[in-house]
Structure 1
Amino acid sequence: MRLRFWGTRGSLPVSADAAAIAGKIARALVAADGRRFADEQAALAFVTGELPFSAGGGYGGATSCVEIDRGTGAFLLCDLGSGLRGFGGSAIARYAEGRPRDFRIFLSHLHWDHIMGFPFFGPAYDPQARITIYAGHAEAREALVRQQEAISFPVPFTALGAAIDFVTLTPGEPIDIDGLTVSVIRQFHDHDSYGFRIEGDGRTLIYSTDSEHPVDDMEGETRFERFFGGADTVICDTMYSLADAVTLREDWGHSSSLTALDLCRAAGARRLVMFHHEPAASDAMIETVHRETIRYEELGRGDGPPIEVVCAYDGLELDV
């Protein structure tokens, strides 16, 4: 399985403003220290090889959308955030490679940032495409129809050309999807969200976003340790700092990178992918949290195996 991250922010899409872009350019010029570059390729090598990621790149601004690419067969996707538009264009381009116009989508929940990309999803307008949406919420179809009502969007859901089906999943009842075993777990979030455990090709992937882990809920912690158990990669909600998650933003339905790492360690997971970044956080702030989480992993490792800590960004690709 190869993961492609098309959207990694939470709550709403964001973009870098003029001041943020100017700041990145200024930091690059200072770091270059008068150096001259023969061409753009040489300058790009400096940017990608010598600058901090927050100065030479960035974490992006699209909301949740992650592709699971097995190379052949149906397209697999987690969530329908604003990153879906970019994925749709990429998928259409890959039709020429012989990929079927078949999409299997795992929908964590129905909040706007996780469904807002669907009206802009090119394959949804293709009469030859088939889209199956798997969700823990029986109201998934209602939510997608509602956001395309005339008061909100000019094209109604009924005008979409693709064949669109909905399958409601139940915790504790795994199902087979294209040779993958898929299980769901109910998560602590307003109107509930659902995490996915996807097993196949000798690998295990966890997709668990928009999930709060209350510090006094030991039974819930045990459930998630079992659900994450032995996973190769865990994509996890790390929206807030630990301090905010347990004080100012308690009961807001999100978690921290330190809590996510503790769960991964207890579950014997091999890699944590930090995800669903706070929209108000700058690239530099996210990068700092990433460094602190790596250090926390090192300090708490003891004699146990290391856990790789990756910070997701729009455009990141990883093998599970």
Structure 2
Amino acid sequence: MSLTIKFWGVRGSLPSAPTPTEWTYHIEGVLRNFFSLGYRDLSQVSKYIKSIEEPVVGGYGTATTSVELRCGRSQIIIDGGSGIRTLSESIMTGTLGRAKGPFHIFMTHFHWDHVIGLPFFTPHFIPGSEIHYYAVQSDLEQLIRGIFKRPYFPVPFEDLKAKIHFHVLEPRKPVKVDDFTVTPFKLDHPDPCWGYKVEAAGKTYAHCVDTEGTRVTPEELGEDLPLYQNVDVMYFDAQYTLPELAEKANWGHSAAQVGLEIALREGIRRVLFAHHDPGARSEHVMELKRQTGEYYQSLISKASENKENINEIIWDFAHEGLEIVL
């Protein structure tokens, strides 16, 4: 049995898409690249598309945070950003099966970008459907009820057809959901935000957005250090460059370089960076990726010079629709 992770939304703060003018320039660049690489015939378009990274053509996506994890017939969802709407469509068209659930939704916190998609999760409106919400926040039920309330949404919570259950979690205490073991750990965010360590099929995923990474050393992380230990894949907040991180202290978001430092020290095998800024177009994220690559190589070179043993990691910037299987 394997653990499958799919990222239905990877943008932060606000759903955001390029303007028509920006898309025009982007497409023009893609076409120019086609010819500059020596392609001439339309029959070569598919070959060209397959030869480059998906975000180079389609961008990194517009939807905010929502991550699905599957193991066998078990499924959990982390956060209800606008990406959960697309997940909902897949569920309703039968692509994923089990239209009535039960569905298990773990909430990190309740900023707009993490809840905006919840009213568009169709199983809420299906008689006999069953939805379980989980969060450390003690007012979980009140917060979810408040989303389904006029004037924010026309259908009140009391009119939802699904059976909805609420589970308040204890910090750093694991909970079992089918084939998953899920443990909440505190992140560095202005409003309380809880990351999740998810274990299934002998693999471990660490969900670490939104976090500023103000605590980095083992001593600083203290009882939250296990979130980063014995992890196969870490999903880490990288909304800013290092200079931007200094300018936006206490905004609750981090830079890829911070995540790399933690990953290398703790021996994390793979890192995906996300929570892309709403103003960040494809070229901006690719520039972040270039800067991250330079920083990563400097860390590797420094370790080599000092004759230190270091486990190299696989890292990238996540895009909407990305699916990985462990």
Q: Tell me, in whole angstroms, the C-alpha distance in 2 between the residues paired with 1:140 and 1:25.
A: 43
Stretches of structure 1 that go unaligned for 5 or more consecutive residues are none
User: What are the superposed Cα offsets for residues 233-283 of structure 1, whole Å, 9 maximum, x if unpaired?
Assistant: 0011111112221x2100111111000111111221111110111111111
Residue 10 of structure 2 is matched in structure 1 by 8
Residue 171 of structure 1 is matched in structure 2 by 171
Q: Percent identity?
A: 29
SS of aligned partner of 2:132:
strand
Residue 43 of structure 1 is matched in structure 2 by 45
Q: Give, in angstroms, the shift of residue 218 of structure 1.
A: 6.6
Residue 68 of structure 1 is matched in structure 2 by 69
Residue 306 of structure 2 is matched in structure 1 by none
Q: Amino acid of the residue matched to residue 30 of structure 1? A: R
Runs of 4+ in structure 1 deviating by more than 6 angstroms, as ranges, are: 215-218
Taking the TM superposition and a 5 Å limit, the aligned residue runs for 1:1-320 are: 1-33=3-35, 35-39=39-43, 42-50=44-52, 53-73=54-74, 75-94=75-94, 97=97, 101-214=101-214, 219-245=219-245, 247-301=246-300, 302=303, 303-320=309-326
Q: Tell me, in whole angstroms, the C-alpha distance in 1 between the residues paired with 2:175 and 2:236.
A: 22
Q: Is the 8 A contact 2:271 2:314 kept in 1?
A: yes
Q: Is the 8 A contact 2:76 2:105 kept in 1?
A: yes
RMSD (CA atoms):
2.1
User: What are the superposed Cα offsets for residues 155-186 of structure 1, whole Å, 9 maximum, x if unpaired?
Assistant: 11221111111111122321222132211112
Q: Give, in angstroms, the shift of residue 99 of structure 1.
A: 7.3
Q: Give, in angstroms, the shift of residue 77 of structure 1.
A: 0.7
SS of aligned partner of 1:94:
coil
SS of aligned partner of 2:94:
helix
Q: Give, in angstroms, the shift of residue 305 of structure 1.
A: 1.2
Q: Amino acid of the residue matched to residue 285 of structure 1? A: H
Task: Note closer, same or farther for the CA distance 1:228–1:30 as it changes in structure 2 (3 Å cut).
Answer: same
Q: Give, in angstroms, the shift of residue 152 of structure 1.
A: 1.3
Q: Give, in angstroms, the shift of residue 215 of structure 1.
A: 6.4
User: What are the superposed Cα offsets for residues 1-21 of structure 1, whole Å, 9 maximum, x if unpaired?
Assistant: 111111000011011211221
Q: Is the 8 A contact 2:126 2:162 kept in 1?
A: yes
Q: Give, in angstroms, the shift of residue 59 of structure 1.
A: 0.2
Q: Give, in angstroms, the shift of residue 95 of structure 1.
A: 7.0
TM-score computed with the length of structure 2 as normaliser: 0.90
Q: Tell me, in whole angstroms, the C-alpha distance in 2 between the residues paired with 1:79 and 1:200.
A: 19
Q: Tell me, in whole angstroms, the C-alpha distance in 1 between the residues paired with 2:91 and 2:153.
A: 24
Q: Tell me, in whole angstroms, the C-alpha distance in 2 between the residues paired with 1:170 and 1:164.
A: 20
**How many residue pairs align between the two structures?**
315
Q: Is the 8 A contact 2:195 2:206 kept in 1?
A: yes
Task: Note closer, same or farther for the CA distance 1:32–1:174 as it changes in structure 2 (3 Å cut).
Answer: closer
Stretches of structure 2 that go unaligned for 5 or more consecutive residues are 304-308
Task: Note closer, same or farther for the CA distance 1:171–1:178 as it changes in structure 2 (3 Å cut).
Answer: same
SS of aligned partner of 2:220:
helix
Q: Tell me, in whole angstroms, the C-alpha distance in 2 between the residues paired with 1:287 and 1:224.
A: 31
Q: Is the 8 A contact 1:241 1:256 kept in 2?
A: yes
Q: Tell me, in whole angstroms, the C-alpha distance in 1 between the residues paired with 2:288 and 2:27.
A: 22
Q: Tell me, in whole angstroms, the C-alpha distance in 1 between the residues paired with 2:61 and 2:316.
A: 15
Task: Note closer, same or farther for the CA distance 1:257–1:95 as it changes in structure 2 (3 Å cut).
Answer: closer
Q: Is the 8 A contact 2:106 2:134 kept in 1?
A: yes
Q: Amino acid of the residue matched to residue 159 of structure 1? A: D
Q: Tell me, in whole angstroms, the C-alpha distance in 1 between the residues paired with 2:23 and 2:212.
A: 33
Q: Amino acid of the residue matched to residue 277 of structure 1? A: H
SS of aligned partner of 2:289:
helix
Q: Is the 8 A contact 2:173 2:183 kept in 1?
A: yes
Q: Tell me, in whole angstroms, the C-alpha distance in 2 between the residues paired with 1:278 and 1:136.
A: 26
